[in-house]
Amino acid sequence: MYFIKVALLASLLALVACDQIEDDLNPSSEDLRPDVVAGSDGTAVGQLALDFTLEDTLGNDLILSDEYPLNTATVLYFTMWCPVCDSHMSYMRQYMVAQYPDVEFLFIDYVTGTVSGSRQTQISNGYTDFTVLVDTTNAIQNIYNATMGTVVVIDSSGIITMNEDFKDAVKLSNVLSIM
């Protein structure tokens, strides 16, 4: 009986607290994001991608901007090595790499924390055929506001053409097909 009273009291407090919220929780059609100046440096679509250097799992430094002239596009995929990320990466491996041979797919491990640990995870998950970059300090993840499964597509001139969570391969494929 005591637990029922506590649960009822907690529910009542939660309802009272909800009534005190002044924010309008109804969606708006107004876009509150700041305007993006095309060609400026940043992480939004239309901006010049912020450059970085990360170490890959083989101990080599990779400078992002060095990849642009070598490829039609560069795809950054932020991974946590979870089943969801694995399904996205498997799809890219099976279907997209062959379909877009001039696109560089780079996986960014922002969870493991060490190059050696990331290499072990890369091997155990079977992704030795991909370049995995290790974001040991989460700096790049934070700069790109990335979460599990964020995909950033950068064209050969360094302009971001997509920066969003991987929802379906169709959108990614559509973006890559026009490059």
pLDDT value of residue 119:
98
Q: Are 48 and 158 in contact (CB under 8 A)?
A: yes
For the question of whether the overall pTM of this predicted structure is more than 0.85, the answer is no
DSSP string over 2-68: HHHHHHHHHHHHHHHHHHT--S--S--S---SPPP-TTSEESSTTSEEPP-EEEETTS-EEEHHHHG
* pLDDT of residue 22 exceeding 90: no
Predicted confidence band at 66 (pLDDT cuts at 50, 70, 90)?
A: very high
Q: Are 152 and 76 in contact (CB under 8 A)?
A: yes
For residues 17, 22, 24, 25, the Cα torsion angle rounded to the nearest 10 degrees is -20
What CATH number is given for 39-177 in this structure?
Answer: 3.40.30.10
pLDDT value of residue 172:
94
pLDDT value of residue 16:
54
- Residue range 80-130, pLDDT digits in tens: 999 999 999 999 999 999 999 999 999 999 999 999 999 999 999 999 999
Q: Are 85 and 151 in contact (CB under 8 A)?
A: no
Mean per-residue pLDDT of the chain: 88
- Residue range 166-175, pLDDT digits in tens: 988 889 999 9
Q: Are 48 and 42 in contact (CB under 8 A)?
A: yes
Which residue's structure tokens are 């799992």? 57
Instruction: Calculate mean pLDDT across residues 12-40.
Output: 65
Helices within 47-135 (DSSP H only)? 64-67, 83-91, 97-99, 115-124
pLDDT value of residue 14:
55
pLDDT value of residue 33:
61
Q: Where are the domains of the chain?
A: 39-177
Q: Pick the more confident residue, 9 or 133.
A: 133
pLDDT value of residue 19:
55
* pLDDT of residue 20 exceeding 80: no
- Residue range 133-148, pLDDT digits in tens: 999 999 999 999 999 9
